């Protein structure tokens, strides 16, 4: 299972972007440690727990920047053995640990920054190597910043060896006891007749324009594009199709695009800031979504910063996604079938708050005798998930809902995070 937890930087980012947009950046060495706990309830199952520790270390010189980072995902939970209308009758428990390391090296000029980055991620059934670069420049007057980035990932996914299978309805799913062997811990090694490693290449592009609209108002627009080529199915997931229970089948090429708009308004009289953002997304699998977020940041005294945010997200299903009942009675859509709820119609609401304590050195003195600044963060988010029926003309609701959510629960998941950032 590969799951990316989004950080809670949005609320603080408004004050950060505003202050850095009107003042020159100061080079600081720093380390940043956070631990995130994600907990989700699931219908008739163990639920899902993810612990995500992350440590980043950086050195910013006058002309050279350097950074190291490490993160892990410690995942335990249970998932339905088969995507079907009676999915809760059987569940498969799982646990996994994912390790990820990253390295970045960059050059800084008076108005421009060029950074190169690389990373490696390793878990039992998935390997990833990535390399990329980011270039950013302040245009004359330093009221406009343009940033461009590109990353390529060389991934490999372990799968059950289905080379002898003729029909997709006969594909066998990977199980936890199948050997997913590796060569030197970097690349996968096939075990004929048992497991095989599939390649997945990912190209990601992003362009961001940040503009000072006034001394207290900053706007930002971002364009995102991504192309994935290769094996993208979950090798463990099975779907009941016309009386069979084969491994899910997804297209091997997916193009994704998104546009984001952010506005941050500093309120001098209140020593606070308003933040708003909109995001639209579409991909070649037919998934379209929209996200809106509103946040507010407020200083209390010199050292406390409160952040509050609310977000709503809604998306349509992929062209080939069906509620489980219709896979069973109608069969695949375009030869594809899946039980992935990320490809289902879904509506999510998030509400969260964050408290930051900021200790900064004054009059030439350091904090604790060593640091220029220390920031301690505690944040929490509540998530309300509403997974919608994929077949709007039907009253059947026993597909994706039966697999994940109970009919009576209000709170579906929460996120707790503790972090400490020190600059010196």
CATH of the domain at 373: 2.40.160
| Distance (Å, whole) CA 227 – CA 260 | 18
| Distance (Å, whole) CA 166 – CA 170 | 7
Looking at the 3D structure of the chain, how many domains does it have?
Answer: 1
φ, ψ dihedrals at 73, nearest 5° = -120, 115
φ, ψ dihedrals at 251, nearest 5° = -60, 155
Q: What pLDDT is attached to residue 305?
A: 96
Q: What pLDDT is attached to residue 19?
A: 33
CA distances from 152 to 45, 186, 199, 284, 395 (A): 37, 16, 13, 19, 43
First to last CA, the chain: 37
Report the 10 Å Cβ neighbour count for 93: 11
Q: What pLDDT is attached to residue 118?
A: 97
Q: Is residue 260 part of a domain?
A: yes
Domain that holds residue 28: 10-423
Q: Is residue 2 part of a domain?
A: no
Q: Is residue 128 part of a domain?
A: yes
Instruction: Answer for the pair 156, 186: CB distance below 8 angstroms, yes or no.
Output: no
**pLDDT tens per residue across span 59-111:** 988 899 999 999 999 999 887 788 888 765 567 788 889 999 999 999 999 89
Q: Is residue 72 part of a domain?
A: yes
Q: Of 36, 195, 67, 193, which Cα lies nearest the Cα of 126?
A: 195
Instruction: Answer for the pair 198, 159: CB distance below 8 angstroms, yes or no.
Output: yes
- Sequence-ordered alpha helix ranges (H) in 113-253: none
Q: Is residue 4 part of a domain?
A: no
**pLDDT tens per residue across span 129-166:** 999 999 999 998 889 999 999 999 999 999 999 988 88
Q: Is residue 40 part of a domain?
A: yes
What predicted TM-score, i.e. pTM, was given to this entire model? 0.86
Q: Is residue 5 part of a domain?
A: no
- DSSP letter at 84? S
Task: Give burial (CB, 10 Å; 0-12/13-18/19+) of 370.
Answer: exposed
| Distance (Å, whole) CA 295 – CA 17 | 14
Task: Give burial (CB, 10 Å; 0-12/13-18/19+) of 75.
Answer: buried
Q: What pLDDT is attached to residue 255?
A: 98
315-344 burial by CB neighbour count: b if 16+ within 10 A, else e? bbbbebbbbbbbbbeeebbeebbbbbbebb
Q: What pLDDT is attached to residue 265?
A: 97
Q: Is residue 413 part of a domain?
A: yes
The low-confidence residues of the chain, meaning pLDDT below 50, are 1-27, 396, 398
């Amino acid at each position: 299972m590969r799951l990316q937890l989004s950080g809670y930087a949005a609320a603080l980012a408004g004050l950060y972007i505003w202050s850095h947009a009107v003042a020159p950046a100061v080079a600081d060495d720093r380390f940043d440690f956070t631990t995130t706990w994600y907990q989700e309830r699931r219908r008739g199952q163990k639920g899902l727990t993810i612990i995500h520790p992350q440590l980043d270390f950086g050195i910013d010189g006058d002309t050279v920047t350097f950074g190291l980072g490490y993160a892990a995902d410690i995942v335990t939970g249970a998932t339905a053995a088969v995507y079907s209308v009676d999915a809760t009758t059987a569940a498969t428990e799982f646990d996994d640990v994912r390790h990820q390391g990253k390295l970045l090296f960059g050059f800084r000029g008076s108005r421009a920054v060029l950074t190169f980055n690389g990373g490696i991620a390793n878990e039992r059934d998935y390997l990833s190597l990535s390399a990329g670069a980011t270039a950013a420049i302040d245009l004359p007057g330093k009221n406009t910043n343009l940033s461009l980035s590109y990353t390529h990932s060389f991934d490999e996914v372990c799968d059950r060896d289905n080379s002898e299978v003729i029909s997709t309805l006969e594909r066998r799913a990977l199980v936890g006891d199948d050997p997913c062997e590796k060569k030197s811990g970097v690349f996968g090694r096939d075990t004929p007749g048992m497991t095989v490693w599939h390649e997945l290449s990912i190209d990601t592009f992003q362009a961001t324009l940040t503009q000072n609209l006034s001394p207290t108002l900053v706007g930002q627009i971002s364009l995102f594009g991504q192309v994935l080529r290769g094996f993208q199915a979950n090798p463990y997931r099975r779907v009941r199709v016309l009386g069979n229970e084969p491994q899910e089948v997804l297209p091997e090429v997916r193009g994704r695009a998104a546009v984001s708009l952010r506005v941050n308004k500093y309120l001098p009289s209140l020593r606070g800031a308003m933040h708003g953002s909109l995001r639209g997304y579409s991909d070649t699998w037919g998934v379209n979504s929209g996200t809106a977020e509103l946040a507010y940041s407020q200083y209390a005294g010199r050292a406390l910063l409160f952040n509050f945010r609310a977000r709503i997200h809604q998306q349509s299903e992929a062209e080939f996604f069906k509620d489980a009942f219709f896979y069973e009675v109608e069969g695949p859509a375009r030869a594809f079938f899946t039980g992935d709820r990320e490809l289902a119609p879904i509506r999510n609401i998030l509400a969260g708050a964050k408290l930051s304590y900021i200790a900064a050195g004054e009059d030439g003195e350091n904090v604790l005798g060593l640091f220029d600044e220390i920031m301690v963060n505690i944040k929490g988010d509540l998530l309300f998930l509403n997974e919608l029926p994929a077949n709007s003309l039907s009253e059947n609701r026993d597909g994706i809902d039966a697999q994940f959510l109970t009919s009576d629960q209000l709170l579906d998941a929460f996120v707790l995070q503790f972090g400490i950032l020190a600059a010196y």
